[in-house]
Every structure is written in C-alpha cells, then in structure tokens.
Chains A and B, each alone.
Chain A
Amino acid sequence: MTSFIIENIAPLMFAALVILLLFGYPVAFALAANGLFWGVLAIKFGLLGPELLQALPQRVFGIMRNDTLLAVPFFTFMGLILERSGMAEDLLDTIGQMFGRLRGGLAYAVVFVGALLAATTGVVAASVISMGLISLPIMLRYGYDRRTAAGVIAASGTLAQIIPPSLVLIVMADQLGRSVGDMYQGAFIPGIGLALLYAVYIVLVTIIKPNWAPALPPEAITIREADGRAGYTSLLAIVLAATAGGVYLSLFYLHWIWACALVGFVAYLVAIANKLLKLGLLSRLAERVIIVMMPPLALIFLVLGTIFLGIATPTEGGAMGASGALLLAFANRRLNWSLFRQAMDTTAKLSCFVLFILIGSTVFSLVFRGVNGDLWVEHLLTSLPGGQLGFLIVVNLMTFVLAFFLDYFELAFIVLPLLAPVAEKLGVDLIWFGVMLGVNIQTSFMHPPFGFALFYLRSVAPNAPYTDRISGKRLEPVTTGQIYWGSIPFVLIQLIMVTIVIAFPRLVLVSLDTGPKVDPNKIKIEAPLDQGGGEQPFIPQIK
C-alpha cells in the first residue's frame, strides 16, 4: 500500500483533487487542503523535507507582492463603474440607429458595441445584460429569429474575455510568466477577428434567411435629418477625413496611437461645436455617433493606449481606466455613494476569491512539483503522437471539454501551470499558446447548458408572453432552448478561430514584432526549414 502510494503519489493527488472539487466545496480551500494533505503524507514518507510547510508564508507573500495581479481589482472596479455609467445604453441606442437601415443591422450593432464594451469594461455579465435589456426587445419587436438574436448577444458579450483588457489574459500572463502588455498585444488581432467572424455569420444569415434578421422599418429610425435622409454622407465624410488625417500624422509626425487620439479628439470637438452652435456641418446621425463613441474610445486610449505606448504598466493602465470610469460616471450624473460602495464591495469579494484560488493552487503545485507531478504530466503529454501540433490539438480539445465544467479562473490557475512547461519544452511560444487557450476558454461562457453568458441572458430575456410597448403586438417569450440553440453557431465560430490561431501563429505574434519596445536589430527570424515538421516551431522568435 505504502509503496503504491509513494510510486503514484502525483496521479493520486490529481485524482483526489478532481473528486474533491466535484463535491462543491470552495475551490480555493479544496486546492490548498488537498495540497497540504499530500504534502504532509509526502513528508512522512520522506519524499519531501519538513521545510515545505515553512515555505508557505513565503509563497503567500510572493502572491501579495505580485504587481500583475494588482490589475485584477482595478479592471473589475472599472467595469463595475462603467456598467452603471450609462455608456452601454447610449452606445446601443445610437449604433443601433446607425446600422438600423441595413438587413441584420441590429445584430451588427450588437457585435460592434460588444467589441467596444469588451475593450473598455472587460466584464461579460455587464455586456450581456445591457445588450439583453436594450437590444433584445427591439430585435424581437421587429421579428428577428430568436435563436440568432440570443446567440449574437451572448457571443458578443463574451468578447470581453478575449479583447484586452480582459482579466483572464492578466491571470494567464501571470501563470505563463509573460508580460501582460505582450499578452494584450497578442490577443488584439484574434479578438477583433472574432468580432469580424461574428459579423460574417450575420451576413450569411441575411443572405440565406433574410427574414431572420430584417432591417428596421422607417418608423423605427428616430435619428434622421429633417427631410428624412439618413445622414450617412456626412458621417462617411468625417470618418474619411479623420482617417486621412490620422494616417498622415502617423506617417510623418506621431506614433499611430497618439495620432488616433488626436484625430478622435478633433472630431469630437467638431461634433460638440456642431451641436452647441447649430452649425449644420454634420448630420444628426454623425453628430450623435461621434459624441457617444468618444467616452469608450477615450477610455480605450487611457487604458490600452498608455500600456501599448509604454507610459503605464498594465496595472497602472487599469487604475487609470478606473479613474476615467469614475469621471465618466460622475459627468453623466450616474455616480452616487451607494454605487461607489457597492462597486468596491464587489471588487473586494471578487479579488479575494481569485487571489485565494491562486493561494490554493500555489500550495497544491508546490507539493505537486515536489513529488515530481510536473514530470508525470510532462511525460503524459510529450508522449503524444504528432509532436507540437499533436500536443496543441489534444490540449485544446481537453480545454474545450473542461470548459464545460470549470470556469476560466480555475482553468487558468489549475490546468495552465501544468501545461505551460510542457508547451515551452515543445517549442511553443507561450504568448501564442496563451491566446489560443484564451479563445478556447472564452467558449466556456457560451457552452450550453452551463455557460455564464447564457445564464445572464436568460435572467434578462422575457420568459413569459408580453405585450410590446411600441407595436402593441403580443410577443412570445424567449425559451431557454432558443438561447442554447442560438449559441451553437458561435461556439463553432470559436473553434474555427482556435484552428486559425493554431494554423497562423503570426496573427498573435505580428503585433509583438512591431511593438515599440523591441529593437529591430535584435529580432532574429528563424526561417522555416520544414513547414511540415512537427518539432520545429516555424514562428519568428524574439531574442
């Protein structure tokens, strides 16, 4: 018995963890206690020294000193304040009007606003709930297919998970030992790519089933000119002018981020002047669009711009964003004492549970590594056929299945530390690996029947027949089955994106090559010798 335990202590430890977690006791404590139990056993069997226990406070202290994780409360706090600042409502109304005349227009608006909210708040619940409350009733009123409407809202809400600044990317960067800034830059293109794929899906729907996503009828378009014109011309003109100005500035004078900020600010001033002085330079639509787009764009600049320019660390970027969100909520007269207190309270509880899972997983992995569990996992995974590609496929399939049961913090803290060393040994770039898993883990929010985004949408979607306020028609509720079916095309889109990221690592790594921090002389491109070879990583390495 004893020798059996000694020889198989790592697999036993892992099996015990799985069983304990399933009982539903808080993950953080089950992890830590399981680690301690096997640690004491290992000390008794002479596998580990007694200094293990004394190392625990040092480990906790290491977590306290971790600057990266400090970004977790900042971004959470920012998201909670923004959720109530009225920004999402303004955006959905105006962007819905902008796209409204198109077939599938409201769905495009949801994807677009979902991506914008993702780049500012990073909180899935907030995005899904505001879109479910504002856009869903309008979509139902004008006869959208319920599954498509529910699916696009849930999926666009989960963009918050992958488009920076997202919490899961921070946690993954920490676990992979990479910088959050690099992780953000790497996730940027795949994140935007996902939003584009969602839009492509809507295009396909409008072609194949036009009546699933109709255009808004004329009487539903409220923002228009006095003579009934839409006002697209002047919107297009100012967008083109701004783009031209931005390109010119960034080619000759400024970093492109500064150029965008400057041009955006000028456009905002023009719109404000047009509104206050009634200049009539811009159509009402153009004026509204520019004015509502300003707060999120300014926040994106404040957070991501300062990080990418190297002015602020990601942690400070989070703090700047939180300050910006407070100012915005204050300016919109939405900030009050109870919102402020509630936001701090929720942030404190969320950071506490996240950090305690990390403490628990640190205790667990301290012992797990002590008994050579990492070697066991490595042996298990390196013996897979197919080398690097085989490893990536198996890991992604495994993550996809685990994501049905575990949420992203658990995946990032428990599963990722086991996989990362193996990935590194197989020559997988860890930023690439992290982004790929990030897209994969994002699906956990839309997996029926446990995906959180689906729960959030269920909580705000009508669940009984109701009379529509505007049209006076009697409308059927949205069934839970419709929400589940609606999410499936988007889960498939996620899998397509994971495949794309595996096949084209440059999507992730290209933005790292051009980062301002990197000296071009130090970039060494390892030319692909054999594209078909499994072992050779055919991605440029930054040395």
Chain B
Amino acid sequence: MRGLLALCRAIDSINAQIGKAIAFLIFAAVVVSSANATVRYIFDTSSNAWLELQWYLFSAVFLVGSGYTLLNNEHVRIDIVAGRLSHRTRAWIDIIGGLLFLLPMTLVIAWFSWPFFAKSVAGCSLMGTHISDLLSWAMPPQSGNDCEISSDAGGLIRWPAKLLIPIGFLLLMLQGISEILKRVAFLTGAGPDPLVKEGEHHGEHAAD
C-alpha cells in the first residue's frame, strides 16, 4: 500500500504542476482574442492563424487541465442523494465509478485518439526531423506524406491540437487511478478521508 500511496502523490503532484501552469494559457487566449478583434476593426485585416490559436490555447487548458480538475474534485456531481450518504459509501461509489466509468472511458478515447493524431502528423517535421520517424515505435506506418494543415487559408498545422486529446485523457486516467487508490486507502484505514480537505479535522459524520 505504501508504494501505491507514493504513486498517488507522484500523480497528484504531476497534475497539480501541469494544471497550475496550463491555466496561464487562459490569459494568453484573452490577449490573443482581444487583439484579434481590435486589429480587425482598426486595420481591417485578420488572419486565420490567430483565430485558430485561440482555440488551440483553450483546448490545451481544458484537456490538459482535466486531471487537475479531478484532483480538486471540481468535476460537477449531482449530490442530491450522495450528499446524504456516509463518507465510506461515497468512497465506494467513487471507486466503482472510477473502475467502471472513468478508466474505461479515458482508455477508449485515448486509444482511438492516437491513430487520429498519428494520421495528422504523418509527413510533418519538427526541426528537420520527421515526427512520425521519431514515433515510429508507437504508431503504424502512415501512408500519406502530407502534413495536415487547417483547411482555412493561412491556418495552423493540426497535429499539436490533435495531440492534446491523448495527452489530456491520459492525464485524466492517471488522476482517476490516483483517486481510486486514495479511496481504497481511506477504506482500509491507510489514508485520510479524501472528502475532508487538508487542514480540517472533522472526522467522519454519519450524514454530512
């Protein structure tokens, strides 16, 4: 169990660092978007690259930040019934939900999004190297040789955006594993109550 709890701490700290860092892209998106509108109005010119950059930035925030959001238990729940259950029952619900819902779902989407990314990256190069060569161990040989670019004039290359999907769902899956382990630890008495925030020591109430 101790080793598993160390794994939890490692996952938590990775997602916390990543989440705090990625949140700054919100500000970047605000700046890009305001600048877009202003420049278009004053100089009557705009570029698809900048328009697309907005949603690249925001996608990075919500996909890569999903593990961080789960770590903070901010994925919204309907607690009309759950709010009346004991902390132990709720821990059980989270364990079963994690095993039956979250892990299979993230696994399926991450799994199928990899070829989706692989297809878009075929033929793309980064600093003179073909990316699909670097990743040849992880993806089937791609037939196309054209690097996928946005169909809008002057748009951005697509693979960085598509790469966000497997990364986001993998981070979410890792956090899901950590949350399950934390609740198992709580039920077996090896860890604290995950529903009690750090610094509070209320113990368990029968009905919170």
Residues of A within 8 A of B (CB): 20-30, 32-34, 36, 53-54, 56-58, 60-61, 64-67, 70, 73-74, 77, 306, 311-313, 315-320, 322-323, 340-341, 344-345, 347-353, 355-357, 363, 405-407, 409-410, 450
Tell me if B26 is interfacial: C-beta within 8 Å of chain A. Answer: yes
Contacts of A322 on B, CB cut-off 8 Å? 30, 34
Assess whether A70 is in contact with B27, with CB atoms less than 8 Å apart: no
What mask results when residues 71 to 110 of chain B are scored 1 for a CB within 8 Å of chain A, else 0? Answer: 0101111111111010000100110010011101100110
Q: Which of B23, B31, B78 contacts A345 (CB 8 A)?
A: B23
Contacts of A450 on B, CB cut-off 8 Å? 80
Considering the complex, which residues of chain B in the window 1-54 have a beta carbon less than 8 Å from any beta carbon of chain A? 19-20, 22-24, 26-27, 29-34, 36-38, 41, 51, 54
Contacts of B78 on A, CB cut-off 8 Å? 21-22, 24, 27, 405-406, 410
Assess whether B112 is in contact with A54, with CB atoms less than 8 Å apart: yes
Q: Which partner residue on chain A sits nearest B82 by CB separation?
A: A24
A-B contact count (CB 8 A): 192
Considering the complex, which residues of chain B in the window 104-138 have a beta carbon less than 8 Å from any beta carbon of chain A? 104-105, 108-109, 112-113, 116
A–B Cβ pairs within 8 angstroms, 17 of them = A24-B93, A26-B75, A30-B97, A32-B101, A36-B105, A77-B30, A315-B33, A320-B38, A345-B20, A345-B23, A349-B65, A351-B58, A351-B61, A352-B61, A352-B66, A353-B76, A410-B76
Contacts of A26 on B, CB cut-off 8 Å? 70, 75-77, 97, 102
Q: Which partner residue on chain A sits nearest B116 by CB separation?
A: A57
Bound-complex Cα distance A24 to B82 (A): 5
Contacts of B36 on A, CB cut-off 8 Å? 316, 319
Bound-complex Cα distance A522 to B100 (A): 54
Assess whether A74 is in contact with B30, with CB atoms less than 8 Å apart: yes
Tell me if B157 is interfacial: C-beta within 8 Å of chain A. Answer: no
A352-B65 contact in complex given A29-B105, A57-B116, A319-B30, C-beta closer than 8 Å: yes
| Known A23-B93, A77-B26, A77-B27; further 13 A-B contacts with Cβ < 8 A | A23-B82, A25-B77, A29-B102, A34-B101, A53-B108, A54-B112, A306-B37, A315-B54, A317-B37, A319-B34, A322-B30, A351-B26, A357-B76
Contacts of A320 on B, CB cut-off 8 Å? 34, 37-38
Bound-complex Cα distance A64 to B102 (A): 20
A323-B80 contact in complex given A57-B165, A348-B22, A348-B26, C-beta closer than 8 Å: no
Q: Which partner residue on chain B sits nearest A67 by CB separation?
A: B55
In the A-B complex, the 9 residue pairs with the closest CB atoms: A24-B82, A319-B33, A33-B101, A25-B97, A26-B75, A316-B37, A348-B23, A57-B113, A57-B116
Tell me if B174 is interfacial: C-beta within 8 Å of chain A. Answer: no
Assess whether B79 is in contact with A24, with CB atoms less than 8 Å apart: yes
Please tell me the number of chain B residues within 8 Å of chain A, measured between CB atoms. 60
Bound-complex Cα distance A27 to B77 (A): 5
In the assembled complex, the CB of B204 is this many whole angstroms from the nearest CB of chain A, namely: 17
Contacts of A34 on B, CB cut-off 8 Å? 101
Q: Which partner residue on chain B sits nearest A35 by CB separation?
A: B105
A356-B30 contact in complex given A54-B112, A351-B61, A405-B80, C-beta closer than 8 Å: no
Bound-complex Cα distance A344 to B82 (A): 30
Assess whether A22 is in contact with B80, with CB atoms less than 8 Å apart: yes
Assess whether B23 is in contact with A70, with CB atoms less than 8 Å apart: no
Contacts of A350 on B, CB cut-off 8 Å? 74
The winner among B62, B83, B104 for most chain A CB atoms within 10 A is B62
Bound-complex Cα distance A33 to B96 (A): 12
In the assembled complex, the CB of B7 is this many whole angstroms from the nearest CB of chain A, namely: 21
Contacts of B104 on A, CB cut-off 8 Å? 33, 36
